[in-house]
A and B are shown apart, each in its own frame.
Chain A
Amino acid sequence: MFSNLRRKYDFTDYILWLIGATLLIAIIYGSFVTLSSGKYTTEQWLNFVIFGLAQGGIYALIALGYTMVYGILGMINFAHGEFFMFGTFGAFFVAEALASSGFLESNPLLSIIVMLMAAMIVSATVAVLSERIAYRPLRRAPRLVPLITAIGVSYFLQYTARGFFGSGVEAFPNVPALAGVVQLGPITMQRSQIAVFAATGILLFLLWFIVSKTKVGRAIRSVAEDKDAAALMGVNVDRTIALTFALGGIMAGAAGVMYGLVFRQVAFYMGFVPGLKAFTAAVLGGIGNLAGAVMGGLILGVIESVGPSLFLEGIGIPSPHQLKDGIAFTVLVLILIFRPSGILGERLSKRA
């Protein structure tokens, strides 16, 4: 009887469940302590959530690129964070020019649209070129090969950016119209956060519309499901894959502009951590699933922003906000252990 049990769950499973249970207890205990100490007001909690949602919106936009490429090629494109970085640089140079000409101050809305356009074009171009040069020749190679290539592409792009733009951190120009806060009832929102919400919402709607309602979207979904069958319908598979990379790049470029507006800095290494976070968000939501990427991004953003004060402070960890990256990657490890298919993901057995 016990040997049966032992065959079903082995030693590592118990250890993993133990770790999970310990973390859960720590989170509940920490939250309880913090909440009962009354250190933060409701308004402060709301502000944490709003900051988290704005950050999460940026993750969501980047995560869409990961998830779309995974959906169509079954590959994790680890260079995707670099597409985001190039987009931010594209927006940065345009913003500098607009700021020095005074146009940024006199015409903020148009300026932001121009910045978005520039970033989207740059990111999409880098994405399409990466696919064409690095990934397409390896399409029939074993799965590990494109994965390693993606890491290579990532470093190539990072150090190309470093070569061109230098290794320092540049300050993203200030958009005066986005400075300051808006009071919405009990909630204080920064104007830049409102801009992020609006732009993210519009882009998500457009992407949803393209993928689910247009001919191009049907082509993308058909290629994602069955490349041969899609070709037999007359779909140009190579072009559709390139297009998917372009769409992912466009979303990453937009995320780059928002990152620049909210965090006001640009650097050649800036794609790495947001890229990993967005990957985490995509896995959290269920990789390959568009709605999942958005949900995962928002949830991750909120956990990261609320978590340190909520449960890390409660269990007595000093300066908990420096540990927010730790929270994100703990989330990644926990999902991979307990629910590898993510929140909305299909069970892997369904595919077999």
Chain B
Amino acid sequence: MATLDIKNLHVYYGHIHALKGIDLHVEEGEIVTLIGSNGAGKTTTLRAISGLLRTPEDTSISHDGSELTQIRADQIVARGVVHVPEGRRVFSRMSVQENLTMGAYTRKNQQMVKDDLDYVLKLFPRLQERRAQKAGTLSGGEQQMLAIGRALMSSPKVLLLDEPSMGLAPVLVETIFDSIEQLNRTRGITILLVEQNAQMALQVANRAYVLETGRITMSGDAKAMLSDPKVIAAYLGL
């Protein structure tokens, strides 16, 4: 059984039919990437999974067998499906430390929270240096580290990452993708990664889906896609 199983996902924005029946699944321990051009519906897909968008009744999104479409976003986090939104969305008026504490909002076991905090600060030493600083004063890369670190504080089983490379210098993109791989390998976190940077995404992922105007048009092994002429022409720009 897939840890995240999406069947027949539709999303409407008023009269616009943004997602037209998507099926995708993510197995435990996998990195799966969803690539596609602007406006294809990648962000919409993640927002529907994490409960920020409503879906019609015949849509099913299940995590480890339990249905997520019927519960609120804040309850979905508590189930271990954690979303790092597009544009990072850190709380800019709070300190770095407070942002990380917000990540652990639903958790009860303070010892485990403390262990996770130590882990996050070791993974991103820059955050350790800037713990007392307001998050709004961080650079883009540091904010992305904070957004991922904050999500790790929620003790995720499945991490939904939306465009972690957006607006970052290439060297920082490398750092961020390295830490994503590390989270997957050493902590066993399942990852669903949405990216415009298809090159990077396909290199770290096990499997990939291609989304075009609300429909999945292609799916399969990520490494195979790297050499697929259609993918190369449309998304790799080589």
Chain A residues packing against B (C-beta within 8 Å): 215, 218-219, 221-222, 225-226, 228-237
Contact = CB atoms under 8 A, between A and B. Distances in A.
Interface string B49-73: 0111000000000000000000011
Interface string B23-37: 000000000000000
Given A218-B101, A222-B102, A228-B85, A235 B74 contact: yes
A234 B101 CA distance: 12
Interface of A is mostly: helix
Given A218-B101, A228-B52, A228-B85, A234 B91 contact: no
A234 B105 CA distance: 6
Interface in B92-121: 92-94, 98, 101-103, 105-106
A346 to B, nearest CB: 9
Interface of B: 50-52, 72-75, 77-78, 82-83, 85, 89-94, 98, 101-103, 105-106, 150, 154
Contact of B91 (A221, A231, A237): A221
A96 to B, nearest CB: 44
B194 to A, nearest CB: 15
A228 B51 CA distance: 10
A238 to B, nearest CB: 8
Contact of A229 (B51, B72, B91, B101): B91
Contacts of A232: 50, 52, 73, 77, 82-83, 85, 89
A225 B93 contact: yes
A225 B101 CA distance: 16
Contacts of B102: 218, 222, 230, 233, 235
Contact of A218 (B74, B82, B90, B94): B94
Contacts of A219: 105
Contacts of B85: 228-229, 232
A235 B74 CA distance: 5
A236 B102 CA distance: 12
Interface centre among A215, A233, A235, A237 (most CB of B within 10 A): A233
A228 B83 CA distance: 11
Contacts of B101: 218
B74 A221 contact: no
Contacts of A237: 74
Given A218-B101, A229-B91, A233-B102, 5 more contacts: A228-B73, A231-B74, A234-B74, A234-B154, A235-B102
